C-alpha cells in the first residue's frame, strides 16, 4: 500500500495554470529599429501589423513534458511511501530485580525436592528461580547476589538466558559468608534509579538474618517504598537455627510490609515454586504493545524520473533548434 505523508502538497498541482491564467504576462524590452516606410513593407508582405509584443508559441511536446515534470515534482513533494504490514512489538513494562542470598548458610543440604530427597539450599533455589526467570518474557530482569557484600550480577535486561546462565554460575560463598540484606536492597534501589518504568518489583530471598549492612533492612525498605519499589521477601531455611543460620521471618515480613509487598516462607521446592506463582498473581505484568509499519520512501524515484524527462525535453528542443538554424 502506498500512502502520502504530506497529501496537502497536491494543492500545488493547479499552480502553473493559475499563474498563466491570472498573473500578468512577463514583459521584456528589446532594442528595435524604427523606419518610416514600415506600413508599405507590411502591405507588400501581406501581413497585418500587431502590438509591439511577441508571445513565443510552445510546442505540444514541450507543454506535455512541462506538465509531466510538474506533476512528478508535486507528487515527490507529497512524499509517497510504500507502507508494509503492521508489526507488533511487546515492550517491557515492568522491571523485576531478583536478590538471592548466597551466604555460607545456603550450603546446608536441607531443601526438600518433589521426590522427597534433600539437596543444597542454593541449588534448590536456583532450580526454582531459574524457571521463574524463563517465564519472565516481556519483563526486564536484573540479578543481585549477596553474602558479606552485595553484587550486581546482571543489570536490567530482556536477555533472560544470560540472567539464567549467571544465576546457574553462582556458588555458595562467592560473596562472603555473612548476610547483608540491607545492602542488597540498597543496591537494587540504585539499579531502579536508572529505570523509566513505573512498575518496579524486588523479590528478595534469604535464609539468614542481616549481620552487618551499612544500611538497616528496615530503612532500606522505607527508601525503596518512597521510590515506588515493591518488595516481596521469601524466607528459606531453619527459623530455629542459631546465629547467621537462623532465618528471621519477622524481619523479612517487616521489610515486605514497609515496601508494599508480602512475606512468604518455603522449606521445599514445591512451596517455593508456589510462592513465585503467587507473586505473579499479586503483581500482574503490564505489557506495552508497540505497533508500527515499515515505510519505504519513493520520492527519489519521482525526482529522478522528472530529471530524466526534463533533460530529454531540453535536449530534443536544442536539437530541433539546431536543425532549423542549419536549414
The per-residue pLDDT for range 208-256, each reduced to its tens digit, is 788 878 889 999 999 999 999 999 999 987 777 666 667 788 899 999 9
Domain-embedded: residue 201: yes
Q: Mutual orientation of helices 121-134 and 269-282 as an angle, nearest 10°?
A: 30
The pLDDT tens digits of the residues spanning 186-197 come to: 999 999 998 878
Q: Are residues 233 and 276 in the same domain?
A: yes
Percent of the chain with pLDDT over 90: 38
Question: Is 32 among the domain residues?
Answer: no
Residues 100 and 185 sit within 8 Å (Cβ to Cβ): no
Rounded-to-integer distance, Cα 56 and Cα 194, Å:
71
Q: Is residue 80 within 8 Å of residue 4, measured between CB atoms? A: yes
170 and 308 in a single domain? The answer is no
- For residues 211 and 317, membership in a common domain is answered with no
Q: Tell me: do 113 and 173 sit in the same domain.
A: yes
CATH number for 265: 3.40.50.410
Whether the pLDDT of residue 181 is over 70: the answer is yes
Provide the pLDDT confidence category of residue 42 given band limits of 50, 70 and 90: confident
Residue 29 forms part of a structural domain? no
Considering the domain architecture, whether residues 270 and 302 belong to the same structural domain is answered as: no
Q: Give the strands of the sheet with 150-157, arranged side by side.
A: 150-157, 140-146, 94-101, 199-206, 229-236, 263-266
**CA nearest 244: which of 118, 107, 141, 122?**
107
Could you tell me if 152 and 131 lie in one domain?
A: yes
Residue 313 lies in a domain: yes
Is the domain of 196 the same as that of 310? Answer: no
In a domain, 187, yes or no: yes
Q: Do 109 and 256 belong together in one domain?
A: yes
Q: Report how far residue 39's alpha carbon sits from residue 22's, in angstroms, rounded to the nearest whole number.
A: 34
Paired sense of beta strands 80-83 and 263-266, if any: unpaired
Whether 118 is in a domain gets the answer: yes
Q: Does the pLDDT at position 117 exceed 90?
A: no
| Number of separate domains in the chain | 2
Task: Looking at the structure, tell me whether residues 309 and 189 fall in a common domain.
Answer: no
Residue 272 sits in the same domain as residue 224 = yes
Asked if 109 and 177 sit in the same domain, the reply is yes
Query: Rounded CA gap, 293 and 18, in Å?
Result: 38
Does 80 reside within a domain? Answer: yes
Mean pLDDT of the chain: 84
Same domain? 257 vs 301:
no
For the segment 252-278, the average pLDDT, to the nearest whole number, is 89
Expressed as residue numbers, the domain containing 151 is 89-289
| Predicted TM-score (pTM) of this structure | 0.62
Max Cα-Cα span within the chain: 134
For the residues 151-155, what does the mean pLDDT come to?
A: 94
- Output the pLDDT for position 205: 93
Amino acid at each position: 500500500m502506498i500512502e502520502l505523508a504530506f497529501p496537502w502538497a497536491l494543492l500545488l498541482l493547479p499552480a502553473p495554470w493559475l499563474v498563466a491564467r491570472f498573473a500578468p504576462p512577463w514583459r521584456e524590452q528589446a532594442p528595435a529599429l524604427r523606419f518610416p516606410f514600415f506600413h508599405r513593407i507590411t502591405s507588400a508582405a501581406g501581413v497585418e501589423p500587431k502590438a509591439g509584443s511577441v508571445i513565443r508559441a510552445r510546442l505540444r511536446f514541450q507543454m506535455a513534458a512541462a506538465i509531466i515534470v510538474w506533476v512528478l515534482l508535486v507528487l515527490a513533494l507529497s512524499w509517497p511511501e510504500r507502507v508494509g504490514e503492521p508489526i507488533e512489538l511487546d515492550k517491557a513494562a515492568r522491571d523485576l530485580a531478583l536478590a538471592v542470598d548466597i551466604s555460607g548458610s545456603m550450603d546446608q543440604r536441607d531443601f526438600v525436592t518433589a521426590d522427597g530427597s534433600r539437596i543444597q539450599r542454593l541449588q534448590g533455589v536456583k532450580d526454582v528461580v531459574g524457571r521463574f526467570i524463563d517465564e519472565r518474557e516481556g519483563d526486564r530482569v536484573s540479578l543481585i547476589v549477596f553474602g558479606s557484600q552485595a553484587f550486581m550480577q546482571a543489570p536490567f535486561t530482556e536477555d533472560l538466558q544470560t540472567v539464567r546462565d549467571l544465576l546457574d554460575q553462582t556458588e555458595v560463598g562467592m560473596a562472603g559468608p555473612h548476610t547483608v540484606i540491607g545492602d542488597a536492597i540498597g543496591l537494587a534501589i540504585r539499579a531502579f534509579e536508572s529505570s523509566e518504568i513505573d512498575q518496579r518489583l524486588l523479590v528478595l530471598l534469604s535464609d539468614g538474618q542481616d549481620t552487618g549492612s551499612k544500611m538497616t533492612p528496615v530503612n532500606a525498605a522505607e527508601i525503596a517504598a518512597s521510590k515506588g519499589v515493591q518488595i516481596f521477601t521469601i524466607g528459606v531455611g531453619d527459623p530455629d537455627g542459631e546465629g547467621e543460620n537462623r532465618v528471621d521471618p519477622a524481619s523479612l515480613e517487616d521489610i515486605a510490609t514497609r515496601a508494599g509487598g508480602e512475606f512468604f516462607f518455603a522449606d521445599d521446592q514445591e512451596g517455593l515454586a508456589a510462592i513465585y506463582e503467587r507473586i505473579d498473581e499479586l503483581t500482574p505484568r503490564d505489557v506495552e504493545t508497540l505497533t508500527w509499519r515499515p515505510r519505504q520512501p519513493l520520492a527519489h524515484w519521482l525526482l529522478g524520473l522528472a530529471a530524466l524527462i526534463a533533460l530529454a525535453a531540453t535536449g530534443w528542443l536544442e536539437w530541433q533548434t539546431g536543425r532549423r538554424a542549419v536549414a
